[in-house]
Chain A
Amino acid sequence: MTDFLVLITVSIVIAATPMLFAAVGELVAERSGVLNLGVEGMMLIGAVVGFGVTMSTGSAILGIGSAALAGAALALVFAVLVLTLMANQVATGLALTIFGIGLSALIGAGFVGMPIAGLPKLDIPVLSTLPIIGPLLFQYDAMVYLSIALTVAVGWFLKYTHAGMVLRAVGESAESAHSIGHPVIGVRYLATMFGGAMAGLGGAFLSLSVTPMWAENMTSGRGWIALALVVFGSWRPGRVLLGAYIFGGVTILQLHAQGSGSTVGLPSQVFTMLPYLATIAVLTIISAGPWRGRFQAPACLGQSFRPSV
């Protein structure tokens, strides 16, 4: 029984990690006032580039790095469109997702069905071999730890550093930040590209670790859940981390419920819907109740800013 619980917990953490990467990246972009709905597209690009580079070079580190760069590059395209050319953020973000789906399928056409060795699990002497604690905490691959470390780092950055404060200020009021003399557009470029890099990492984790393979549209909506997680976490890294693991839990629950589906007597599609239903339910509750004031979005989220000359 304990083994089973450990197994479930481990699978929840792994299911949550791609969403955690993407959500924390998107959180940074949104705190600077940029709403990038292209997360799904950037994750796919990260997944295919990470897979392709790892396969052709044999270096997972190179693959992961390239995935982050590819995500950031796609985010840069988005940033040029919405920050420099003042395109509408929502429409451009949606287009970016569609573009990412198509481009990743094109790049990955030759990779479908190719085998690859997954990322090596961590193997710390003593710790990893501990009963229960070992598999529970010390037997993941490096990216799982990286996702948690980056979440903590982002939280610390936003709360305790001057640069983080400027980033939040830019998202709160671009006008004010500009009139005090902070570089609004520059900050937003960097934040958007960081978001892209994180989405790329999330995608690479999918194609290198969760299921070491490439398949078209393999993110299957995780980018959208990551977007919802940012709202769920009310733009705070700690809550996003919690949210990611809850949603990872719902995903795994769904798989297991499907496995033993006959006992419940519901069609399997109902369980596949679960994570998405949970997303809708949570978003509705957050934005409707009397507590909504406490879940404030950055005031300038999604608005273009044109500095007066």
Chain B
Amino acid sequence: MTNDAAGAPPRLELRRITKRFPGVVANDGVSFSVQPGEIHALLGENGAGKSTLVKIIYGVLHADEGEVLWNGQAVTLANPHAARRIGVGMVFQHFSLFDGMSVLENIALGLEGKSDMRKLNDRIIEVSKAYGLPLDPRREIHTLSVGERQRVEIVRCLLQDPKLLIMDEPTSVLTPQEVERLFGTLRQLSAEGCSILYISHKLQEIKDLCHHATILRGGKVVGECDPATESTRGMAQMMIGAELKTLARRGARPRTATRFNVDNLSLATDQPFGINLKSIGFEVAAGEIFGIAGVAGNGQNELMRALSGELTVAQPSSIRLDGKPVGNLGVEPRRALGLCCVPEERNGHAAVPDMSLASNALISARNRMKLAVGGWIKHDATREFAERIIQEFGVKARGPESAARSLSGGNLQKYIVGREILQTPEVLVIAQPTWGVDAGAAAAIHQALFNLAQNGAGIVVVSQDLDELLTLCDRLAVLNVGSLSRAIDTADASMEEIGLLMGGLHGMSAEVPAVHGSAQNVA
């Protein structure tokens, strides 16, 4: 499938593509080719230039240098219309969907020209059946799960009979069962002769699915390989460009005093499309890292806000910190008692982008670190504290006066995590600790969390990344439509078990039968 020895031109060939943005070369002389029917992986870390490259192929961005060949012919892709016309389809990492509109309208918007809505309706049902992607064209997007939204994007592409399908990080939002189903669809497409350009940084998936891999680092092609034979470790090292550091994991320890206790926490959402929390309960012992898994939009935002104190609950004892009821306290009183939080959104929630790093330290640590006494800011102490965070957590920044927005995602995340950890919390609640962060920073953050737990704090990690949770946590539970599953030990949890708890099939009731191989639930 991969090698077309007959001399037919590759479906897609890139020659020395270069794209510069102010201050950074996103793609630097990138060349590779994709054969008909080939599933070609584009592998690289965040910031390696994968997304820029595919946006060029899809006509959203324009290359400064280099050429794109389609079936051997040089083509100019002025805009996505031009790309679609020659047969390029793309499923975006951040879906290009319209929440308030129906599936049918969303698909019609992505097709060339005007469509007869009634015929389109029938074709959607037809195609979605043929590829095992069930969809109801009349549903509005905001009522769909993330997996279903991705189906809309895929069906939209399939209706245009694509010759090349670009998938940008398609599995980052899916449950393991949804991933399997997606792979089935992609293999079927490949067998029908459609080429697939598959972008990911998840090595195991690439090994399972792809025929060939091109590895990008810092905007350049640094290697190619056959993922079936190359080891994941080898690919990871090409991707990162360094030896992988192994985390210094702690041994298992006996569970001691309970530090954090959530009991029968229910909360009605205040958001239009929010999720109500339904009698959430879990405990975190001293030195324990507790994970909360689940696909985004299952109540994570509401839970984070309830735990941090941004939302208070009527029953104080439903959240207890070292035995003290804190459910009715706001953010600052909880922090004073030792409950610190790192919300998911860095810019605008965890940090004020336009303010300096020092000021961003002040807004969180003013009381615990005594940076503002009697309403007066102690500028020297604040700056020292910010400098300490920068040093101890290896934040790349010019100094405490640089604006938060001037830092890269990974560096800002290290700064925010450091800011909370250096306040020596009794309990740390952290959401998506390494979302969009490069591997080096992710490892540093994981290590910091281990160390904090080692010193006796309790940690709650809310994340969609199962690999991360399995690395970090002692136990984890799954949040599904506002309910939390029972907790399982990560040491003996299987991906399948967790996937079932995540409600691999949406529309299935939140009550998932007690697990262990009840695979008939996975259609």
Contacts and interface: CB of A to CB of B under 8 A. Distances in A.
Interface of A: 162, 165-166, 168-169, 172-173, 175-182, 292-293, 296, 298-299, 308-309
B516 interface: no
B245 interface: no
A166 B109 contact: yes
Interface stretch (B99-107, B169-177, B361-369, B429-437): B99-107
Listed from nearest, the 10 A-B pairs whose CB atoms lie closest are: A181-B80, A176-B96, A172-B98, A293-B272, A162-B114, A179-B96, A181-B81, A180-B110, A169-B98, A169-B109
B216 interface: no
Interface string B26-63: 00000000000000000000000000000000011110
Interface string B106-120: 001110001100000
Contacts of B96: 173, 175-177, 179-180
B84 A173 contact: no
B376 interface: no
B418 to A, nearest CB: 31
Prevailing SS type, chain B contact patch: loop
A172 B99 contact: yes
A181 B97 contact: no
Contact of A181 (B59, B108, B114): B59
A111 to B, nearest CB: 44
A179 B114 contact: no
Most A-side CB within 10 Å, residue of B81, B92, B96, B273: B96
B198 to A, nearest CB: 19
Given A179-B80, A181-B81, A308-B61, A299 B100 contact: yes
Interface of B: 59-62, 79-81, 84, 92, 94-101, 105, 108-110, 114-115, 272-273
A253 to B, nearest CB: 34
Given A169-B101, A169-B105, A293-B273, 7 more contacts: A168-B105, A176-B97, A181-B59, A181-B81, A181-B84, A299-B98, A308-B60
Contacts of A292: 272
A182 B100 contact: no
15 contacts: A162-B114, A162-B115, A168-B105, A169-B101, A172-B101, A176-B97, A177-B96, A177-B109, A181-B79, A181-B84, A296-B100, A299-B99, A299-B100, A308-B60, A309-B62
Contacts of B81: 181
B89 to A, nearest CB: 11
B98 A173 contact: yes
B97 A173 contact: yes
Contacts of B84: 181
Contacts of B273: 293
Contacts of A173: 96-99
Given A182-B109, A292-B272, A296-B272, A176 B95 contact: yes
A177 B96 CA distance: 7
Contacts of A162: 108, 114-115
A181 B88 CA distance: 13
Nearest to B111: A180
